[in-house]
Chains A and B, each alone.
Chain A
Amino acid sequence: MNLRQLRGWPLTFLLAAVTGLSVGPFYWLVIATTRKDTEIFDWPPAPLPGSHLGDNLDRLQRRIGLLRVIGNSLLVAGVQTAGALVVALLAGYAFAKFRFRGRTLLFALLLSTLVVPEQVMLVPLFKMMMSFGLLDSYQAIILPGLCVPFAIFLMRQSLSGLPDELLDAARVDGAGEFRVLWSVVVPVMRPVLAALSIFLFLGSWNQFVWPLIALRSPDMHTLPVALATLYGNKSTTDYGAILSGTALSTLPMMVLFLVLQRQFISGLLAGATKG
């Protein structure tokens, strides 16, 4: 081993420690979730996962209707992601590949709302959903998330790089406009669409304030709302159940992240690198 390699070790150890601090809480969560309530605060913590995950999840199912809540979260995040993706693809395509009246103005209008905090819309959306009779429904959560200006911006940016010749070639072959979009544009854009879906799904899966406001009955709760409610109810000290819910809202994303790290990172960094 030469001197240069030797010099790298202190830095490597430092980074290992920093990474430990980043990942440590997840490890603690895995341990806590798989052990009995009474062992959660043991010190030093047990080094290996226990066998009580099933019990903890059972109790969570009884307390918040875990399966129903997960179903709600999956439904909302799935539909919202698919919807927002289609909306952004169509709009981004229009902005990138067509010249039409009002193009610049409409695009600027969409982007201008990026600087408006989400909180501004909470009260009007609540009133609107109330008058539509949609409070406490899936639609109330899904609909406001369909137009994501940032996603439209990203699609426009990526589609601008697509050569017009490619589209023209398909048109020469007699493809209609939607055929061109579906069989030429979509396949080429697959990496961007994948990154964007992860970005959208993650945002939707984790959204909190609006579902907290719009959803009333525990039957309709999404996972973050159910968790916050269970934890916020200080009379509940069933820590095993609460933590297993936390693990359940976190670990599937973690696994997905480890499998699809490239798409995750480019999805979450999309704003930083494309902007």
Chain B
Amino acid sequence: MTAATPSAAPAEELAKSLTKEVVRSRRSPRWRRAALPYLLLAPALLTFGVFKAYPIVDSLLLSFTTGSGTATRAAGLANYRRLLDDPLFWTALRNTGEILVVQVPLMLGLALLMAVGINSALVRWRAVWRLGVFMPAVTGLVATGVMFAFLLRTDDGAVNRLLDAVGLPTVDWLGQPFWARMSVVLVLTWHYTGYNAVIYLAGLQSIPRELYEAAMVDGAGPIRRFASITVPALRPVLLFTVVLSTIGTLQLFDEPYVLTGGGPDNASLTVSMYLYQNGFRYFDFGYASAIAYALTLLVSVLGAVQMRLMGDKDT
């Protein structure tokens, strides 16, 4: 950019208007200019229409039909009525909910602590910790699932050996209903905590240090400073991570599919897995679509509630 001294300004203005003039005179015919943005958008709109918009609408229509495979007939609200009476759907919903309420606060709390720790002026080799905790986020969920399926084996898995070594009781991770769900929580937490910590870290680094210094002068202790400066400053980032994690966990599929297969006895069956079973094991497309829309409803309602609760305080 040119230096913005007052004397240079008129010359710059002149140059700019001249440029505009030349650009205009060189323009291609008007219709081509008008068509250009649509031309640029064509690939996006085409792929969007065929592979996003159409499936979303088709899915809604399918949810009002019944039958197997493509031999379907109209069924009104039958699928949704069936959903409400389906104990397995409720089990899947309860499992997903339990994983959600344990996992999201646990992970985000840990991530916040991690970020504050790494950001502390007292800490050495900050870049190393930041890099290390972020690494799991690069791994695929299937690979993570397989890896932890080995680490969590009851008799000879590394996690139980480690627990045993420090004198804690070992756990039948994948064999007990409750612990199967907690295994999923564990894997998710391992996978995403560092990712969220790095997001928080970016937020923390944008808080001016003077704020903390001023608070210290006023005699605010570390907890007070954390509650009155750090948390409010991070609110937009916190909101982002809460909504993102909630949406992600509601759609949980890969980890339980690999780790527990939904077992034992459906104890870790999630809504997405139940959708998959109905759609692609029983080919009950109508019912699977109804489950998909129930999930969409859940995602939008929970997302909206969270944004309302956390987002409004500024205005």
Contacts and interface: CB of A to CB of B under 8 A. Distances in A.
Nearest to A151: B44
A126 B142 contact: no
B59 A15 contact: no
B258 A7 contact: no
B56 interface: yes
A126 B279 contact: yes
B45 interface: yes
Interface in A139-172: 143-144, 146-147, 149, 152, 165, 168-169, 171-172
A147 B47 contact: yes
B179 interface: no
Counting chain A CB atoms within 10 Å of each CB, the highest count among B51, B125, B251, B293 belongs to: B51
19 contacts: A19-B129, A25-B147, A26-B135, A43-B156, A86-B43, A106-B41, A117-B299, A120-B59, A124-B62, A128-B50, A147-B44, A172-B22, A177-B28, A209-B276, A213-B280, A228-B258, A249-B140, A253-B139, A272-B240
Given A113-B53, A119-B295, A22 B133 contact: yes
A43 B157 CA distance: 9
A94 interface: yes
Interface stretch (A47-55, A64-72, A189-197, A263-271): A263-271
Contacts of A113: 48, 52-53, 56
A21 interface: yes
Nearest to B49: A147
A71 to B, nearest CB: 17
Q: Determine chain A's interface SS by DSSP, over half rule.
A: helix
Interface string B119-147: 01011110011011111111111110111
Nearest to A6: B122
A269 B200 CA distance: 10
Nearest to A213: B280
A138 interface: no
B142 A172 contact: no
A91 B118 contact: no
A120 B146 contact: no
A240 to B, nearest CB: 11
Interface residues of B, number: 98
Contacts of B153: 41
A268 B244 CA distance: 13
A165 B41 contact: no
Contacts of A29: 147
A127 B40 contact: no
Nearest to A28: B158
Measured as residues with beta carbon below 8 angstroms from the partner, the interface class of chain A is: 35 or more
A179 B36 CA distance: 13
Contacts, number: 277
Contacts of B44: 87-88, 90-91, 110, 147, 152
Contacts of A87: 43-44, 47
B254 interface: yes
Nearest to B304: A115
A87 B128 CA distance: 36
B280 A228 contact: no
Interface stretch (B80-88, B98-106, B190-198, B207-215): B190-198
B52 A168 contact: no
A15 B135 contact: no
Contact of B240 (A22, A165, A275): A275
A95, A98, A103 — most chain B CB neighbours (10 Å): A98
B19 A224 contact: no
A120 B54 CA distance: 11
Nearest to A264: B138
Q: Which 3 A-B pairs have the closest CB atoms?
A: A8-B122, A206-B140, A19-B132
Interface of A: 4-5, 7-8, 11-12, 14-16, 18-19, 21-23, 25-26, 28-29, 32, 40-41, 43, 45, 86-88, 90-91, 93-95, 98, 100, 103, 106, 109-110, 113, 115-128, 130, 143-144, 146-147, 149, 152, 165, 168-169, 171-172, 174, 176-177, 202, 205-206, 208-209, 213, 224, 227-228, 231-232, 239, 242-243, 246, 249-250, 253-254, 257-258, 261, 264-265, 268-269, 271-273, 275
Interface stretch (B89-97, B170-178, B217-225, B284-292): B284-292
Given A12-B124, A143-B47, 7 more contacts: A90-B40, A94-B41, A110-B48, A117-B292, A123-B285, A124-B58, A146-B43
Contacts of A171: 23, 26
Interface in B151-193: 151, 153, 156-158, 161, 190, 193
A241 to B, nearest CB: 11
A180 B12 CA distance: 23
A120 B293 contact: yes
B14 interface: no
A124 B19 contact: no
B54 A124 contact: yes
A119 B280 CA distance: 12
A19 to B, nearest CB: 4
